[in-house]
A and B are shown apart, each in its own frame.
Chain A
Amino acid sequence: MSKRQKRFEVLADRAVNNDGFIKEWLDVGLVAMESPNDPKPSIKVEGGKVVELDGKSRDEFDMIDIWIADHVIDASVAEEAMALDSLKVARMLADINVPRSEIVRLSVGMTPAKYVDVLKKMNVVELMMAMQKLRPRRTPSNQAHVTNVKDHAPLLAADAAEASLRGFAEIETTVGVGRYAPMNALSLLVGGQVGRPGVLAQCAVEEALELTMGMRGLTHYAETVSVYGTEQVFVDGDDTPWSKAFLGSSYASRGIKMRFTSGTGSEVQMGYAEGKSMLYLEIRCVMVTKGAGVQGLQNGSISCVGVPGAVPSGVRAMLAENVAAVLNDLEVASGNDQTFTHSATRNCARMLMQFLPGTDFIFSGYSAVPNYDNMFAGSTHDSDDYDDMLVLQRDLQVDMSLRPVAEEDVIAVRNKGARALQAVFEELGLPAITDEEVEAATYAHGSKDMPDRNVTEDLRAIDDMMKRGTTGLDVVKALAKHGFEDVAESVLSMLKGKVSGDYLHTSAIFDENFNVIAAVNDLNDYEGPGTGYRLSGERWDLLKDIPQAISPELEKDESIAPVAFKKIGDAKPGTDKNEVVIGLPPAYGTVMTKTIIDIPHHQVLKEIMAGIEEEGLKSRLIIVNKTADVAFISHEAAKLSGSGIGIGTLCRGTTVIHQKDLMPLQNLELFPQSPLVELETFRAIGRNAAKYAKGESPTPVTVRNDPMARPKYQGFAALLHNTETQYVKPGTPSTEVTL
């Protein structure tokens, strides 16, 4: 176009237009939830065996069909569940009157195509209602990513400690350099217990190494065990449902919690989607997981999020796949763990889908480090977003499992986490962590603030450590020997958790006393208003108390001198045509001493009076005792003024120029937004009032326009206004004062 429309030029530069969007391409499966190539739901059971699944007979089954037929579907409910109209099932999911247990009972009788047929009938609000009811654990929780580009161990320990203190129940690391894995795992193992005892830690790396670290007691759980929705992609991922299920049992055999990982978009990304919708293929992953008997699943697109994110209804599909997981009675760690957009608006909207209903882990990796240090390629939200999240919890009264923290407490746990790891390194013969590194890790924003470590030395020492067969028990001993008895006790308690196996159950986490909270003793019992998890009581008191909130008991600013008023007596009507009367509320200059933007009251008065004087007129001051309403204060001043012109100004700075013959709620000039009334404005107000008194028609005083004044100050203005209102004495005449 030769000439651009200016609004379109601005829109073109918006963050959202850096995202990639593509139109649907049905033949290859670039479609989120509904493809004409998705099979029609069907099932046939003969002699207790599934012989037909979604239009395919048993001899046409691929590996995944066989797995689903033989390891997932409960033939005893299949015919009942499949006979139900999909719309009816969709309505049951959203209906508070149908209990979770009934839905879960039927879910094992449904085929993948049936799941799609049900879920595609639900909008996002209905899907959220289903999630609220169906997530297995009653209490929602959250998981964090703790990584950095340098694989810097003391920084990892400090970040793990902070993440735990802030409320994450699980923390997950991975590596920049693969061989660093055991050291990163060790850093989280120690740091995590410093921030909050009972936090579960993992290190996501290649399958065999990940299991080895778990077997040694260096991690508490595993998650990055990927499953796929088509046979070809599964095999390209170098696994089968049988190998992955065997791996799942291997973890349980060592008492280690684990869940699988999948997500929409991976199959089409790898080029073998068979023209099926992303949701259909993802549901096959969910069912592979169910059949493996693994307790949970991380899904919500995860690392292929840019694919569903680019097509219509893709963000809805991500929520639908989360719902498919909980519908299968699986723990869900529901995504939100990968950067998927340039737009903060889109980012937040995507996250609300899981945050509002609550899931077992709302983020399967909130970045507890700045995103530049996030080795999972960045999360939707990072450590710089903490305060936003705390405010969202407070705004909506919804629990994201994050708690407000004091800076000094964060400094303390970061320091202790790094020092505890320093002791463990010394004892295990790993390259020393210096005091300078501990100090830097304590105060760091990210790895940019850290000195480099000697990578070659670190890697050599890690290889030695793994050859020596170091275990979690050696870590306990090292901590105890160096005086970190409490941390040692916590690391040991987590090892004991593997002995009892309680945390192998669905949606299990530990509280700070090492009690297991799982979807057994904390099973979701949501059945509509008044039931299920409610953010209330002590927990709500904790979450609503963010440090930024101003208390109603205002602290007096002692640095500002009060205004020294001298009382003359009851205010009388003036007769001098050359006067302007200034009316003030009772708390002015004494109980309160400055405006909302910190201009001292004595300066305000000086400026108004100077403005009046510039025009050759005199001012007279009155305190209006009976009201704190600026309209009535200024009108009272005008009525007592010999010229008939009065000014009323409130403690926070709201000001009116009034004339005695006008109605109280009319005015000559009104300055309603106190944060925009600056020092020079007051002088101009004084000048204009004097001009009105002389019978002139001055140009009204100009005031800035700032749409952000309201979010910044309006709540505070209400607080100030209610404070000054408490000093009003109704029925008391006004008092004349001088300075």
Chain B
Amino acid sequence: MTTKALDPKDFPLAEKRPELVKSASGLSLADITLDKVKAGDISFDDVKIRPETLEFQAQIAEGIGRPHLAANMRRAAEMTSIPDARLLEMYDALRPYRRTKQELLEMASELESKYQAKICAEFVREAAEVYEKRGRLRT
């Protein structure tokens, strides 16, 4: 792991810093070949992004002056460990009138404790406050 933040010169990672890119299962891009797919040696987890990569991309985004995009990528990095179905449920829970404030706060706690998703947890708590103020919670 590098300690110095990446910058736009490292972009695209696949070309400029391939040694940094690993899939969720730890494979490098060069390891993901058609022959291996044909032989049944590649699973869908082998072609998923991992949080470290999203952090590198966030650093590149910051390096080119896009802090908002970087923040999105950091939320995304935390979400990589949330299963598809649960992530879809969480999105739905954030829609208007779906949850009480308490339920949203519980979801924030789940994000924090179960998925170590601190930024996302804070984001959900903030939403709960706003929804309460604007009357958009489930009653």
Contact = CB atoms under 8 A, between A and B. Distances in A.
A pairs with B:
yes
A499 B49 contact: yes
Contacts of A295: 69
Interface in B18-43: 21-23, 29, 32, 34, 37-38, 42-43
Contacts of A495: 32, 47
Nearest to A500: B14
A211 B88 contact: yes
A248 B123 CA distance: 13
B13 A500 contact: yes
Interface string B52-85: 0110110011001110111111011111101010
Interface residues of A, number: 69
B87 A252 contact: no
B106 interface: no
Interface of A: 62-63, 66, 70-72, 101, 104-105, 207-208, 211-212, 215, 217, 231, 235, 238-240, 242-243, 245-255, 290-295, 329, 471-473, 476-477, 480-481, 485, 488-489, 492, 495-502, 504-506, 515-516, 518-521, 523
A71 B68 contact: yes
Q: Interface majority SS on B: helix, strand, loop or mixed?
A: helix
Q: Which of A290, A471, A489, A501 has the most CB of B within 10 A?
A: A501
A516 B12 contact: yes
Given A212-B84, A252-B76, A476-B37, A515 B32 contact: no
Contacts of A249: 72, 75-76, 79, 120
Contacts of A498: 47-49
Interface residues of B, number: 60
20 contacts: A101-B65, A104-B65, A208-B88, A211-B91, A217-B47, A240-B95, A240-B136, A243-B94, A249-B76, A249-B120, A250-B91, A252-B72, A252-B79, A253-B79, A480-B34, A501-B57, A505-B69, A519-B64, A520-B8, A523-B64
B62 to A, nearest CB: 11
A212 B22 CA distance: 23
Interface of B: 8, 11-15, 21-23, 29, 32, 34, 37-38, 42-44, 47-49, 53-54, 56-57, 60-61, 64-66, 68-73, 75-80, 82, 84, 87-88, 90-92, 94-96, 120, 123-124, 126-127, 130-131, 134, 136
Q: Which of B15, B22, B75 has the most CB of A within 10 A?
A: B75
Given A476-B37, A515-B12, A499 B53 contact: yes
Contacts of A499: 21-23, 29, 32, 47-49, 53
Given A293-B69, A293-B73, A488-B34, A247 B57 contact: no
Given A66-B130, A520-B64, A521-B12, A253 B88 contact: no
Nearest to A63: B134
Given A293-B69, A489-B34, A520 B87 contact: no
A471 B65 CA distance: 35
A19 B110 CA distance: 54
A501 B92 CA distance: 25
A79 B69 CA distance: 23
